[in-house]
Chains A and B, each alone.
Chain A
Amino acid sequence: MIEVALRHRWPGTVLDIEFTAPPGATALFGPSGAGKSSVVAAIAGLLRADEARIVVDGMVLSDTAHGVDVPVEQRRLGLVFQDARLFPHMKVADNLRYGLRRAPAGPPDAQIRFDDVVELLGIAPLLARRPHTLSGGERQRVAIGRALLAQPRLLLMDEPLASLDGARKAEILPYLARLKQSLALPIVYVTHALDEVLFMADTLVLLEAGRVRAAGPVAELTARGDLPLAERDDAGAVLEARVAEHHPARRLSLLRAGPLALWVPLAPAQLGTWLRVRIPAREIILATEVPQGISLHNILPTQVVNVTEDAVRHTAMVELATGPARLLARVTPDAVARLGLRPGKPVLALVKSMSVDVLK
């Protein structure tokens, strides 16, 4: 559990941020200049905000009201910078051990061990090399390992993939996912790339011009029609779905997200696995009657929660709910009028199996 409240004033800009994050990975998402990196710097103690209260797992790191300000070197927060910042005069192995040597000796079974990190990040072949001989992706993996081995209470990542090209990014993302699964370590992840958010985050904090626009579970915020996320071409609700049935003969799998049942092309995942899927808003068709003789597999009974019209783009974002599961559909204002869509109205959401993106 992370609690952050910050107020800081620079000439010309203001940071006024407050959010709490449950265990898991929290993404700070927003355009450049929104204050994401400042928040991370303040949590790490590198930025002294005018007013700050920062609590990580019950440990008060900053509290200006009570004069608490734990020095950076005693906070034990692993920070991964955009530009790796490996020590150029040390071999990879010595870089990795730098934080480990300075970490307090805890109970051995609770420690993040050197061999485990090397294995997790696949950096065994790099140990004897110097940082300047590594590629960008390798450097970033070593930087993540170095931060982990300092036995942090929290892993802070400030745009760790922003300096990498698409291929290098794809190389690292699986390591991040493994890291998240195998270590019960809270993560705060700063990014301006939505794909990284959808891949990594459980909780999303949307920042805009130094303020929190919205904060909550990823599934909840991606299903809202009134946030900047909904204005993107790739807007679409994220669902956590469990693999319920495989039908190899039909080459289909059935996923269940709460009361919603989704047919998708045969998924390469075991029964019972939790998958994260995204249904792009522009791929959803709304109907008031069940269509006949159609290739479609997914006809989902839902209820309209909210309709937000975008006057500039001549579109309407329709928020839909079935129990706790949420969907977001993008249709024309004309369709809204013809079907009489308003909050509370039951409506069928038609989703092609091919349109469901399985994220992981």
Chain B
Amino acid sequence: MALSLGVAGRSVGFGLPVAVVLAWVLARGRFPGRAALDAFVHLPMVLPPVVVGWLLLLLFGIRGPVGSWLDDWFGIRLVFSTSGAAIACAVMSLPLMVRAIRLSIEAIDPGLEQAARTLGAGRLDRLLTITLPLALPGVLSGAIVGYVASLGEFGAVITFAANIPGETQTLPLAIYSALQTPDGEATAAKLALVSITLAVAGLAAAEWAGRRARAALGHRP
């Protein structure tokens, strides 16, 4: 269970900065290829997770283009490792995070960014002082939704990082393994209960954080 939380935490750690940048680019950017990028970001949501896991395996495997480079230069092997499980989760939950953050960026009145511009704020300055703070409710709920989704990710993790107890065996994988063993039902039920508790707690936290942030901005809940 601690492993599961750690994997999900790292998944959000990897995924959130990427999600924020992607969401900002998709919400405010005007460039050719935006639709293509949008579709690409949403791929993990529509592809079977096993396919995503396999694609990651191709890309980050020890003989894959990125994997071999990482291995040669840094001696990092992602496949069948805890970090690998986190990356698989991050990729799977990315569309959810991007969606939540993008919606909240699009909800910001562009007039505020315009006002900041007339007051002398450049592009990065505006992103950091106006856009991101105002999108905070979305970033928070994106992070929490991503965290909860990462806790539940199965297909991509088992394909890319395998099912190694103590290393890549996250909660859903453990439940699956328990169900495969005779008399494992009791263990599975216990794990399932933990999983449900975590999910509900996560969603409640997302709701609470969003409400707090919106109240701070003066919106009526």
Contact = CB atoms under 8 A, between A and B. Distances in A.
Contacts of B116: 87, 98
Contact of A81 (B115, B117, B120, B130): B115
A102 interface: yes
A258 B125 CA distance: 53
Contacts of A79: 115, 118
B121 interface: yes
A72 interface: yes
Contacts of A146: 119
Given A46-B114, A81-B111, A130 B218 contact: yes
B101 to A, nearest CB: 16
Contacts, number: 64
Contact of B218 (A44, A85, A131, A150): A131
Nearest to B114: A46
Contact of B120 (A46, A87, A99): A99
A73 B121 contact: yes
B120 A133 contact: no
Interface string A80-107: 0101010111000000001100110000
A78 interface: yes
Interface residues of B, number: 21
A85 B111 contact: yes
A81 B121 CA distance: 17
B143 interface: no
Contact of A73 (B109, B117, B129, B216): B117
Interface of B is mostly: helix
Nearest to B218: A132
A150 B119 contact: yes
Contact of A102 (B114, B119, B136): B119
Given A81-B111, A131-B218, A88 B118 contact: no
B111, B116, B136 — most chain A CB neighbours (10 Å): B116
Contacts of B166: none
A77 B111 CA distance: 16
Interface in B134-167: 134, 136
A77 B218 contact: no
A74 interface: yes
A88 B218 contact: yes
Nearest to B220: A132
Contacts of B125: 102
Interface string B95-119: 0000000000000010110111111
B17 interface: no
A61 to B, nearest CB: 12
A85 to B, nearest CB: 4
Given A46-B114, A81-B111, A81-B115, A88 B120 contact: no
B118, B133, B134, B216, most chain A CB atoms within 10 A: B118
A143 to B, nearest CB: 8
Interface string B169-202: 0000000000000000000000000000000000
Given A85-B111, A88-B217, A133-B218, A72 B133 contact: no
Given A73-B121, A79-B118, A98-B116, A89 B216 contact: yes
Interface in B32-73: none
A141 interface: no
A44 B130 contact: no
A246 interface: no
Contacts of A78: 118
Contacts of A88: 112, 134, 217-218
Contacts of A130: 218
A79 B118 CA distance: 7
A72 B126 CA distance: 13
Interface in A28-51: 44, 46
A278 interface: no
A76 interface: yes
A267 to B, nearest CB: 40
A133 B117 CA distance: 24
A89 B217 contact: yes
Nearest to B119: A99
A88 to B, nearest CB: 5
Nearest to B129: A98
Given A79-B115, A87-B115, 20 more contacts: A44-B118, A72-B118, A73-B118, A73-B119, A74-B120, A78-B118, A81-B111, A81-B115, A83-B111, A85-B109, A85-B114, A88-B112, A88-B217, A89-B217, A99-B120, A102-B120, A102-B121, A103-B120, A147-B119, A150-B120
Interface of A: 44, 46, 72-79, 81, 83, 85, 87-89, 98-99, 102-103, 130-133, 146-147, 150
14 contacts: A72-B118, A73-B121, A74-B120, A75-B118, A81-B111, A81-B115, A88-B112, A88-B218, A89-B217, A98-B119, A98-B129, A131-B218, A147-B119, A150-B120
List 6 tightest A-B contacts by C-beta distance, closest first.
A132-B218, A99-B119, A102-B120, A85-B115, A79-B118, A72-B117
